[in-house]
């Protein structure tokens, strides 16, 4: 559960987040929509602890960011596209990132690679990956180790149809396992199929999308 309370963020006297208050429940996929430059990515950065709000607070599972801890304790992120080491294989990249947290086994990494549709490519250098394959590895890194908070920024970018189905499946699965999933996306398909809660952003402000439009289509 993530509670964002009256968050303002001003960069070079431009208000990028303008009093954002929202709740993102656990065990649900919350989707952020809105035009380019409306502040979706910035809000995700604030929730991740990467950007300090000018004022206001963010609480993750009852712990206030920057007061109780600098970052959410158990988190996975895919912000602004994937970034990995080109000279290492996809698998070695995940292996190295797994060192940053306890309890991710090699077998789990292999499972994960298969789950995002990279089976057979895990041992190839990341440099040789196509854009869509990179995105798949980014999704794998974000959900690795079953974190309780997962932030995904445009997760379906560059994915083919089958990739989009995979991404939606992964989002559904991690949230069914109890994680808080927050997704910024333009993909109408994702909004349609996996959004449990919808928020719309415009010019640094956020509003809850309710009613028929906001309800999940079963």
Helix (H), strand (E) counts: the chain: 7, 10
Which is closer to ligand ADP, CB of 28 or CB of 46?
A: 46
Q: Could you tell which of another protein, Mg ion, ligand ADP, none binds residue 81, using a CB distance below 5 to 8 A set by kind?
A: another protein
Q: Which residue's CB is nearer to another protein, number 47 or number 191? A: 47
Residues at the contact surface with another protein, assessed by CB under 8 A: 11, 41-42, 45, 48-52, 69-73, 75, 77, 79-81, 83-85, 87-88, 92-93, 95-97, 99-101, 141
Whole-number Å distance between alpha carbons of 108 and 46: 29
Residue 133 in tokens? 């394959």
39 or 147: whose CB is closer to ligand ADP?
39
Give residues with Cβ within 8 angstroms of 94, minimum separation 6.
109, 112, 113, 137, 140, 141, 144
**Which residue's CB is nearer to ligand ADP, number 41 or number 135?**
41
Q: Give the span between the Cα atoms of 46 and 165, in whole angstroms.
A: 28
Angstrom distance (rounded) from CA 89 to CA 94: 9
- Residue 41 interacts with Mg ion (CB under 5 A): yes or no: yes
Instruction: Please identify, among the stretches 32-40, 53-61, 122-130, 160-168, the one whose residues bind ligand ADP according to the rule CB under 6 A.
Output: 32-40
Per CB under 6 A, which of residues 39..78 are in contact with ligand ADP?
A: 39-42
Q: What does the block give as tokens for 59?
A: 């609480």
């Amino acid at each position: 559960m993530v509670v964002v309370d009256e968050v303002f963020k001003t960069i070079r006297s431009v208000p990028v987040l303008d009093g954002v208050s929202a709740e993102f429940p656990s065990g649900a996929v919350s989707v952020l929509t809105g035009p380019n430059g409306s502040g979706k990515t910035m809000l995700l950065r604030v929730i991740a602890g990467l950007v300090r709000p000018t004022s206001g607070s963010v609480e993750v599972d009852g712990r206030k960011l920057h007061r109780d801890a600098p970052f959410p304790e158990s988190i996975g992120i895919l912000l602004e596209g994937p970034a990995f080491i080109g000279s290492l294989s996809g698998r070695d990249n995940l292996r190295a990132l797994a060192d940053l947290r306890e309890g991710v086994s090699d077998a789990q990494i292999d499972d994960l690679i298969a789950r995002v549709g990279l089976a057979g490519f895990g041992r190839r250098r990341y440099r040789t990956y196509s854009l869509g394959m990179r995105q798949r590895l980014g999704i794998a890194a974000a959900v690795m180790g079953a974190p309780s908070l997962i932030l995904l920024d445009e997760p379906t970018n560059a994915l083919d149809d089958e990739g989009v189905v995979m991404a939606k499946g992964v989002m559904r699965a991690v949230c069914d396992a109890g994680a808080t999933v927050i997704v910024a996306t333009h993909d109408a398909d994702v909004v349609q199929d996996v959004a449990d809660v919808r928020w719309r952003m415009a010019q640094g402000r956020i509003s809850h999308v309710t009613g028929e439009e906001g309800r999940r289509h079963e």
